[in-house]
Amino acid sequence: MIYKWRQKLHIEPPTGWLNDPNGLCFFDGRYHVFFQYSPDSATGNSPRGWGHYESSDLLSWNFKGESILPDTAYDCDGAYSGSAVVYDGRLHIFYTGNVNTPENHANVIHICCEHADDMGGKKVILSPEDYPDFVTSQVRDPKVWVEDGKWKMVLGAQTVNNGGCVLLYEGDSPDSFRFVKSLSHEGMGYMWECPDIFELDGNTYMTVSPQGIGHEEYRYQNTFSSGYFRIKGDGLSDYCELDCGFDFYAPQSFEAPDGRRILIGWMGMGDANYWNKTVESGYQHCLTLPRELTVAGDGALLQNPVRELKQLRGNAEVVGEDKWARLPFEVEAVRSGEGEIIMTIGGAKFESFDDGHCELSFTDEQTGASRSVRKAKTGRVDDVRMIVDTSGIEIYINGGRYVMSTRFYPEYRELKVTAQGATSVLYGLAFHDTLVSIGEALIDFIPNKTGCEFCEVDSFAPAVGGAPANVCAAFTRLGGKSRMITQLGNDPFGEVITGKLNEIGVDTSYVTYTDEANTALAFVSLKADGDRVFSFYRKPSADMLYEPYMLSPYMFDDCYALHFCSVSLGDFPMKKAHKAAITLASSHGAIISFDPNLRLMLWDSADKLTSAVLEFLPECDILKVSEEELEFITGSSDISTAIPTLFAGRVKLVICTCGGKGAYVVNAGGTAFSPAVPVEAVDTTGAGDGFIGAFLWRLKSNGIGRKDLSSVSSRILKDCADFANRFCSISVRRNGAIPSYPTYGEMQNPDGGKN
Ligand code: FRU
């Protein structure tokens, strides 16, 4: 899996194929983006349904999984594009149920649901008999809205004369629509897909994606186009393209709770003769950034990235002769004289010409992945804003009147930025949403029988583990981003670990490999009294030889929290790397989280372990201990007196887990207690790691950062601990550590998500 092209700002599928945005809405306190999704095929060759992302801020998106599946007789060949309406506290979804008969057969299906991740009850509300005679069987992509108490729908279609058109329907309820009229425009292609109609500033706009418009030098250069008309009575204004880059199609819009009209497009192109390098990594395509639409004095639509994006900006830096910028970033340029503006971003070049056109070009195959040049007639260019993500660039020209969106594939994460003819300012864009763990990732060998002495076990099965790696896995299973920093041996076990972590979605791109030592192994047996016996193979192991110089500041520029344990704090290079990582992560404002996770047998003496723990304890913001560890560290088993003694140095929050009883969470503001969920445990391996991983994930979802840790209310702390307890109650009913961790979706499942 190659992670270097994973977008940071744009919505991508975890695996498989994505195309059109669908069902955009704000519902139940969150933004929802659904999309056309084939999870099993990066080239879109498996049945297509809807995938689902959710966000509270339009910036950071959580993948919620597959949503609508093509699983009925009415949508068996695809749950194709459609839209959402929030009405009376419910979510109404309308989509195209595609059935491949010799003639294409497309139904409009309605789903009414209480929750965005609970799509049931499909009802066909329009089928081919309901479409007027002047259209072919090519009818799809319902966009529905409610206006003056009426339900309104627009569908994309093709006329029998081979022209694109839309069909307008109306009804008194979400499942009874009647045909009203159609709209079309001479010479605008043979089929119109994905229409949308909305009002803005007293004008009515219709966006649509026409297929078959003739290519011109400055317009309609892509296989298919997307643009808008103004609707005036029964007529349509001239068509205006929404985006002149290589990758833009099928945009849809919705109204945010604050009244903004927000548009999102597919940052891809059907039937294009250029390709995307991520296919090699098993996924393809992304959506554009959410864009705010506003209206210019002459009625033209202006598009600009949602204002929330500015929250990600770091310090402003002036772009001089030779500026290097770390992806993702943005550049804002304002004309400084009369000449042409020329800006380069790695191998991408944007140039404005005196004759009032501009060009976006890519210098070589490496960056362009066979994209060469796109042109636009913009008139004089006065300002340019470029948002450059890991493998895509969006260029907003003249206040968003023109936009060019294109995927590109830079080999390196730092790009040289230059600007001529403009005063340019560069901002790094960074999320602080990634959990970074440093320390050991190893293979646990699990005995085939328990309740016996170590020597009585006759076979062991390998499982990827190591506490810091488990914590990453828990965080990522819940939909968060995580990154593992460790060293593995150049050996098959190292490959197994990387493979497993990648499969779950943990970023392993910074893991290093060595010939000096092997990947760490740990054999475990479980005696009759429940005691675990470990036999570690790390004398030394590859992780212990990780050196501070192997770290880079880039590992932390999106860091939400850095997590570590004590196994790597012995007298070897990895200990120094921990110190350096703490310094780097702290300088990025990250939370430092420490779970001592004591393994006495790895130490020459208990004193050495204690002194290592006490050396690192004052360096952390969050300390998680078990009851036994509390006693080991403080010498006292009395929770109420022992916990306060742990608030040394920068410690702001202490979590004490008490096995089957529950967990205490203490900060300066108070104490929260969360009782454990009573369950029949079958395997507690990795439960503590799961707890802290889930706790950190929930803390982040509650919007809590380092500066809030001392003041965050006991109510929120209890919410986080309750969530982590629920996570563990599912994990301990399943075998293993990583394989036992539930996803967020499984946690919503009221049966507790057994197996
Ligand atoms: C546009 C489109 C839609 C259709 C969907 C299928 O890209 O062709 O018309 O509903 O994709 O994925």
Domain with CATH 3.40.1190.20 in the chain: 434-747
Query: What is the per-residue pLDDT across 665-686, written as a single tens digit (0 to 9) for each?
Result: 999 999 999 999 999 888 888 9
Q: What are phi and psi of 520, to 5 degrees?
A: -65, 140
Q: Outline which parts of the chain fall under CATH 2.60.120.560.
A: 309-429
For the segment 382-410, the average pLDDT, to the nearest whole number, is 97
Q: Residue whose CA is closest, atom 6 of ligand 1?
A: 80
What's the CA-to-centroid distance between 745 and ligand 1, angstroms?
Answer: 27
Quick one: which atom of ligand 1 is closest to the CA of 270?
A: 7
How is residue 518 annotated by DSSP?
B
Using one digit for the tens of pLDDT, what is the confidence trace for 64-93? 899 999 999 999 999 999 999 999 999 999
Identify the pLDDT of residue 530.
63
Find how far residue 627's CA is from the centre of its chain: 36
Nearest CA to ligand 1 atom 8: 193
Helix (H) or strand (E) holding 710: none
The token duo for 425 is 């300012």
| pLDDT exceeds 90 at position 469 | yes
Atom of ligand 1 nearest to the CA of 156: 9
Average pLDDT over residues 315-332: 90
| The token pair that represents 206 in the structure block | 């219709």
pLDDT average, residue stretch 464-488: 96
Per-residue pLDDT reduced to its tens digit, 503-518:
999 999 999 999 999 9
Report the separation in Å between the CA atom of 224 and the middle of ligand 1, taken as the mean of its atom positions. 12
- Give the mean model confidence (pLDDT) for residues 513-539: 88
- Average pLDDT rounded to a whole number, residues 302-330: 90
Contact 53, 287 (CB under 8 A): no
Show the tokens assigned to 133.
Answer: 């005679």
In DSSP terms, 105 is beta-bridged to: 99
Q: With 70 as the cut, is the pLDDT of residue 429 above it?
A: yes
Amino acid at 726: R
- Report the separation in Å between the CA atom of 285 and the middle of ligand 1, taken as the mean of its atom positions: 14
User: How many residues in the chain?
Assistant: 755
Beta-strand pair 392-397/383-389:
antiparallel
Task: Enter the pTM of the model.
Answer: 0.72
Helix (H) / strand (E) element for 164: namely strand 164-173
Ligand 1 closest atom vs CA 209: 1
Residue 114 is which amino acid? E
| pLDDT at residue 752 greater than cutoff 60 | no
Q: Buried b vs exposed e over 471-492: b needs ≥16 C-beta within 10 Å?
A: bbbbbbbbbbbbbbbbbbbeee
| Distance (Å, whole) CA 715 – CA 719 | 6
Where does CATH 2.115.10.20 sit in the chain?
16-290
pLDDT one-digit tens code per residue, 8-59: 999 999 899 999 999 999 998 889 999 999 999 999 999 999 999 999 889 9
Known active-site residue 20: yes
Residue 102: pLDDT band with limits 50, 70, 90: confident
Determine the atom of ligand 1 nearest the C-alpha atom of 194.
9
3-state SS, residue 57: coil
Q: Of 20, 595, 683, 689, which residue is the catalytic one? A: 20
Assess whether the previous peptide bond of 540 is cis (omega < 30° from 0): yes
What element of type H or E holds 631? Answer: helix 627-634
Q: Summarize pLDDT for 708-720 with one digit per residue, the tens.
A: 999 999 999 999 9
Give the Å distance between the CA of 430 and the centre of ligand 1: 32
Q: Which CATH architecture has domain 434-747?
A: 3-Layer(aba) Sandwich (3.40)
The fraction of the chain above a pLDDT of 90, given in percent, is 83
Beta carbons of 226 and 208 less than 8 angstroms apart: yes
Check pLDDT > 90 for residue 442.
yes
Mean confidence (pLDDT) of the chain = 94
Q: For residue 605, give both structure tokens.
A: 């003496």
Determine the residue of 141, 224, 269 to mutate for testing ligand 1's pocket, defined as the one with the most ligand atoms within 8 A of the Cβ atom.
141
Ligand 1 environment, Cβ below 6 A:
19-20, 36, 48, 80-81, 96, 140-141, 193-194, 249-250, 270
Atom of ligand 1 nearest to the CA of 141: 10
- Which CATH number is 309-429's, of 3.30.70.100, 2.60.120.560, 3.30.230.10, 3.40.718.10? 2.60.120.560
The CATH class of the 16-290 domain is: mainly beta
Quick one: which H or E segment has residue 573? helix 573-587
Average pLDDT (377-382) is 97
Torsional class of 295: left (φ above 0), alpha (ψ -120 to 50), beta (otherwise): beta
Of the candidates 401, 561, 413, which has an alpha carbon nearest to the alpha carbon of residue 480?
A: 561
- Ligand 1 mutation target, pool 194, 207, 284, 285, most atoms within 8 A of CB: 194
